[in-house]
């Protein structure tokens, strides 16, 4: 058959938005898929691509591109990235498609779609009357982001507390602490005074406290929606016997603080519109109160001046390290605060085998 009588090949179907692996996790678009987007730079001839701005605490780049008419949504997803929760071997896990970084930049990435316009009207319309263009002209905003960007592979099976976590300004101030008189008793690890001495009534002391805030950026909507495991973990259900993570101290070293030095005091939620798939996501700001000593250690004032100092306090006459502190034995329970960045907790370890009969 002559070439001019052959039919044009059938165009490929539009790309999936977002691109996923067979297990449901996100993956980058491959080179064939990117070629299907028909990405072109706009404004190179007149020098407007890119347009940069630098100010104190701000570094932005604006750049325009053409993309294929049928691949606008895929191109947007490719540029600004996406996030979702998927079932990873029975555990709900966060997966991220990272945004595109501007060339030669590590932390300046696409964060916004500032304008989309049609390019070259084709003289035809969609069934609903929308005009069909040859291409889309898209203006992308790149911004220097104040958090780490890590792939799923770089995170591995660890907590999400390393990536997409912005450090907010902290505040430090002296704080007057009233001792919980009559409820707890001082305890030393090795015994001896003042072990067993009840905390007196009407006594307090001054201690410096630092308010620590971290904003977790672009958390999938389902991860924090009403009824989610993470929300239930944070707020607990006292009637059902589930203690909240709010009001607990850190069980392990966390954010550079030793066990017991961080008290989880609050969470602030922001519901945001996502640029991909008409989706929504959350920004969650966690707040802790940090001290230079465990929140379950209190100051003992010895009238003789011999044993004045900081000591652990409990209600059962025993000393505990924070990592093994049983619930209800001191003023604050301990929890693993890495769990605040997980959507499903790993199953508990199996019980040890029974001891052999004597």
Q: What is the DSSP string of 14-63?
A: PPPSS-B-TTS-B----HHHHHHHT-EEESTTTT-SSEEEEETTEEEEEE
Computed over every residue of the chain, the mean pLDDT equals 92
Q: Cα separation of 312 and 317, whole Å?
A: 11
Q: Which residues contact 253 (CB under 8 A, 6 or more apart)?
A: 259
Q: Is 343 within 8 Å of 223 (Cβ atoms)?
A: yes
User: Which uninterrupted H or E stretch holds 228?
Assistant: none
Give 127-140 pLDDT, tens digit per residue: 999 999 999 999 99
CA neighbor of 52 nearest in space, from 136, 128, 144:
144
Long-range pairs, 234-240, Cβ under 8 A, ≥24: 234/267, 234/340
**pTM for this entry:** 0.90
Q: Which residues contact 190 (CB under 8 A, 6 or more apart)?
A: none
Say which residue the tokens 């008189």 belong to.
Answer: 181
Q: What does the block give as tokens for 117?
A: 């316009």
Q: Are strands 262-273 and 309-314 parallel, antiparallel or unpaired?
A: unpaired
- DSSP letter at 232? H
Q: Is 271 within 8 Å of 253 (Cβ atoms)?
A: no
Q: Cα separation of 222 and 86, whole Å?
A: 10
Q: Cα separation of 264 and 43, whole Å?
A: 50
pLDDT of residue 276: 97
Which phi-psi region, left, alpha or beta, contains residue 133 (left: φ > 0; alpha: ψ -120 to 50)?
Answer: beta
CA neighbor of 64 nearest in space, from 47, 78, 81, 77:
47
Q: Are strands 334-335 and 249-250 parallel, antiparallel or unpaired?
A: parallel
CA neighbor of 97 nearest in space, from 165, 150, 39, 42:
150
Kindly provide the b/e burial profile for residues 218-238, where b requires at least 16 CB atoms within 10 angstroms of the residue's own CB. bbbbbbbeeebebeebbebee
| Domain residue extents for the chain | 13-149, 158-341
Q: Is 175 within 8 Å of 295 (Cβ atoms)?
A: no
pLDDT of residue 348: 61
pLDDT of residue 78: 98
Q: Is 325 helix (H, G, I), strand (E, B) or coil?
A: coil
Rounded to 5 degrees, φ, ψ at 257 are: -105, 140
Per-residue pLDDT of the chain (358 residues; tens, 9 = 90+): 455 555 667 889 999 999 999 999 999 999 999 999 999 999 998 988 999 999 998 999 999 999 999 999 999 999 999 999 999 988 999 999 999 999 999 999 999 999 999 999 999 999 999 999 999 999 999 999 999 999 999 998 788 999 999 999 999 988 887 777 778 999 999 989 999 999 888 777 778 899 999 999 999 999 999 999 999 999 998 888 889 999 999 999 999 999 999 999 999 999 999 999 999 999 999 999 999 999 999 989 888 889 999 999 999 999 999 999 999 999 999 999 999 999 986 656 666 677 666 5
The neighbouring-strand residues paired with 241 are: none
Output the DSSP codes for 64-107. EEEEEGGGHHHHHHHHH-EEEEEEETTEEEEEEEPPPBPTT-SS
């Amino acid at each position: 058959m002559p070439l001019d009588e052959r039919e044009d090949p059938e165009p490929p179907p539009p790309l999936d938005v977002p691109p996923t692996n067979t297990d449901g996790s996100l993956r980058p678009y491959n080179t064939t898929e990117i070629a299907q987007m028909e990405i072109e730079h706009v404004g190179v001839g007149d020098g407007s691509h890119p347009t940069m701005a630098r100010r104190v605490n701000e570094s932005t780049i604006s750049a325009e591109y053409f993309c294929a008419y049928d691949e606008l949504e895929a191109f947007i997803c490719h540029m600004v990235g996406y996030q979702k929760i998927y079932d990873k071997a029975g555990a709900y896990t966060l997966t991220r498609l990272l945004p595109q970084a501007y060339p030669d930049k590590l932390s300046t990435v696409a964060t916004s779609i500032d304008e989309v316009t049609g390019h070259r009207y084709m003289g035809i319309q969609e069934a609903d009357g929308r005009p069909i263009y040859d291409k889309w002209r898209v203006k992308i905003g790149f911004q220097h982001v104040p958090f780490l960007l890590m792939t799923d592979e770089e995170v591995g099976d660890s907590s999400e507390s390393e990536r997409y976590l912005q450090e907010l300004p902290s505040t430090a101030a002296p704080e007057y602490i009233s001792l919980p008189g009559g409820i707890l008793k001082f305890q030393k690890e090795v015994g001896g005074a003042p072990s067993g001495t009840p905390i007196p009534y009407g006594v307090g002391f001054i201690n410096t406290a630092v308010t620590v805030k971290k904003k977790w950026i672009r958390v999938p909507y389902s991860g924090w929606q009403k009824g989610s495991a993470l929300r239930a973990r944070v707020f607990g259900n006292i009637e059902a016997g589930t203690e909240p993570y709010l009001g607990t101290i850190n069980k392990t070293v966390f954010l550079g603080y030793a066990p017991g030095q961080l008290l989880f005091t609050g969470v602030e939620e922001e519901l945001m519109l996502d640029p991909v798939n008409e989706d929504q996501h959350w920004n969650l700001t966690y707040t802790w109160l940090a001290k230079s000593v465990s929140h379950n250690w209190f100051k003992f004032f010895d009238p003789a001046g011999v044993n004045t100092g900081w000591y652990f306090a409990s209600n059962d006459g025993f000393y505990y390290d924070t990592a093994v502190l049983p619930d209800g034995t001191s003023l604050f329970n301990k929890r693993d605060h890495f769990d605040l960045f997980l959507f499903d907790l790993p199953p508990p370890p199996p019980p040890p085998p029974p001891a052999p009969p004597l």
